[in-house]
Every structure is written in structure tokens, then in C-alpha cells.
Amino acid sequence: MTQNHNGRSNASMVEPRKVYDLAGLTSIVTGSSRGIGAGIALELARRGANVVVNYTSDKSKNAAESIVSTIKGCGSGARAIAIQANVVLPDDQKKVVEAALELSGDEAINILVHNAGNGDDCYLPEITEDFYSMQTDLNVKAPIFLTQKVIPHMPRGGRIILISSCSARMGVAQHTVYAASKASNESFARVWATELGQSKGITVNCVNPGPVATDGYFDSTQEFIDDLKPLVDSTPAEARVGEVRDIAPIVGFLASEESRWVTGSTVSACGGLLLF
């Protein structure tokens, strides 16, 4: 079992809970073959939720299947299926929704987590139209049109959670498109909380991680990671980047009945790196 930066075991990510507060519910977690999405998929499953584990590239098939196996064996009774789909594409969005309906057995999709995101870095002069489209298609367009397709199947008590980023508020160099597109996720939470609240009984919230130790983070340029180091070292909670296990339980809470009075909010999940 892997260890986090404190030398503590990450075993709790896959251990079953005593109370399966999401039992009988069905969830979609986009981009859940690895990183934060995989952690969220496991967190929802150990609370009892069925999970559609989504990924997009051929190379992640085994990783996604391995998350599915872990879910099936975690002891909570959760079911899971791995679906290769590019959530930017309308037909692939339909595939994800159909998989969730099949998994649920009762035609209900109760939890939708928009986790898949593109975080490539680029200075302003180098931004191309293609780069702009690649990031905004995944970070802005996909959540809108996937949500549109899920809503007709989401009963009252439904939960939508968007994984944004502290970068949306921080002014990090090279994040023109990333920060702006992630800021849209906070706006979605506020607007959709209003549109889907009283009328449909759905809550919508956003989670803003700071830097988290995933492939996505370590794929950044060394220059980017070096620039961020003084900031990471000054993180109030501890001088380190976040772990997946720091983020996933927040999503677990926001997916649960206990979060019923929280909607339209953005939770800062960054050890105090950003205090607003």
C-alpha cells in the first residue's frame, strides 16, 4: 500500500466503511482511471455507490479495469464499470450516460462528478486557437453538455460536483486558459445551484484543489513546478503538495445526504494555500 507524504498509509482509500451512506446510488466520475478521479471513484464506492469509471486513452484501459476490480472487491456492495469515452464528444457523453443507466438498474443517476480536466501550461504569447479549444472543450463545454444529458435521469437528492482548481483565483503564470476555464466551473456551481435547486432538488458544488501529486501535476514543466515550490513550502497546513486522499473525502461528503444544505459553494482544498 502506498504511503502519503506523512508516511501514513493510504489504505483507508480502499477500506470499506461501516456505514454505506451512498448504497443504492449510482455515480459517474469523469476521468477516473487515475489521479484525483480514481480516488473519488474509490471514495464513492467505499460509501456504497455504484461507479462509472471513465477514461479516454487506450493506455489507461488496464488502470480503469483495476479501479473497477478494487471497487467490486471493496466490500461495500458497489458495482462498477469502466467506460472509454472522450467526454468532449456528444456521442461519447451518451455512452457514459447509457453505461450509468445500465449499472444503476433503476434508471437513476444520482451523482455526477466532473473531474476530467486539461491543465497544460502556456504563456500568453504562445497560446494558439487549438490550445484554447482543447482546454475549454474539456473544462467548460464537456461539463455543460454532459450535465444536460444526465439531468433527465437525476432524481431529487441528486448531487453534481465539479473539480476546479485554486488556480482559478490565483494568477499563476502560464494559466491564462486553464484558470479562466476552471473559473467557469465555480460559476456553473452557482448558476446550476439556482436553476436545479428548488425545481429539481439537486445540489451543485465545486471543489478547488491546490497542487496534488498526480500524473497531471508531474506532467507540468519543471520550470512550472520550480516556480510553484516557494508557494508549496509556505502552505499553512503543511509544507507539501496535496494527496488524492486529501481531496476525495470532500467529494464523498458533497455527494452525501449530509451535505443537503451546501449548494452553489466552492470548497478550497489546498491546505490553506489560498485563503478565499
Ligand X SMILES: NC(=O)c1ccc[n+]([C@@H]2O[C@H](COP(=O)([O-])OP(=O)(O)OC[C@H]3O[C@@H](n4cnc5c(N)ncnc54)[C@H](OP(=O)(O)O)[C@@H]3O)[C@@H](O)[C@H]2O)c1
∠ CA(92), CA(49), CA(36), 5° rounding? Answer: 65
Question: Phi and psi of 27, rounded to 5°?
Answer: -130, 155
Q: Which DSSP letter does residue 14 get?
A: T
Is there a catalytic annotation at residue 182? yes
163 binds ligand X (CB under 6 A): yes
Q: How far apart are CA 31 and CA 16, in angstroms?
A: 22
Query: Residues 104 to 133: which contact ligand X by CB under 6 A?
Result: 115-117, 119
Radius of gyration of the chain (CA): 18
Query: Residues 66 to 85: which contact ligand X by CB under 6 A?
Result: none
The x, y and z cell numbers of residue 215, run together, are 500524473
The x, y and z cell numbers of residue 4, run together, are 502519503
Out of 33, 60, 104, 165, the active site residue is: 165
136 binds ligand X (CB under 6 A): no
Q: How many residues in the shown chain lie near ligand X by CB under 6 A? A: 30
Q: How far apart are CA 22 and CA 5, in angstroms?
A: 29
Query: Minimum distance between the CB of residue 88 and ligand X, rounded to whole angstroms?
Result: 5
Query: Minimum distance between the CB of residue 89 and ligand X, rounded to whole angstroms?
Result: 8
Quick one: 107 or 215, whose CB is closer to ligand X?
215
Quick one: 76 or 115, whose CB is closer to ligand X?
115
The H or E element containing residue 81 is: strand 80-84
46 binds ligand X (CB under 6 A): no
147 binds ligand X (CB under 6 A): no
Choose which of 49, 87, 99, 172 interacts with ligand X (CB under 6 A): 87
Question: Phi and psi of 224, rounded to 5°?
Answer: -65, -45
Choose which of 14, 20, 25, 37 interacts with ligand X (CB under 6 A): 37
Choose which of 26, 27, 50, 54 interacts with ligand X (CB under 6 A): 54
Is there a catalytic annotation at residue 27? no
Q: Which stretch binds ligand X (CB under 6 A): 18-26, 56-64, 75-83, 188-196?
A: 56-64
Annotate 184-248 with DSSP letters as a single string: HHHHHHHHHHHHHHHHH--EEEEEEE-SBSSHHHHTS-HHHHHHHHHHHHT-SS-SS-B-HHHHH
Binding site for ligand X (CB under 6 A): 30-37, 54-57, 60, 86-88, 115-117, 119, 138, 163, 165, 209, 211-212, 214-217
Show which residues are catalytic: 164-165, 178, 182
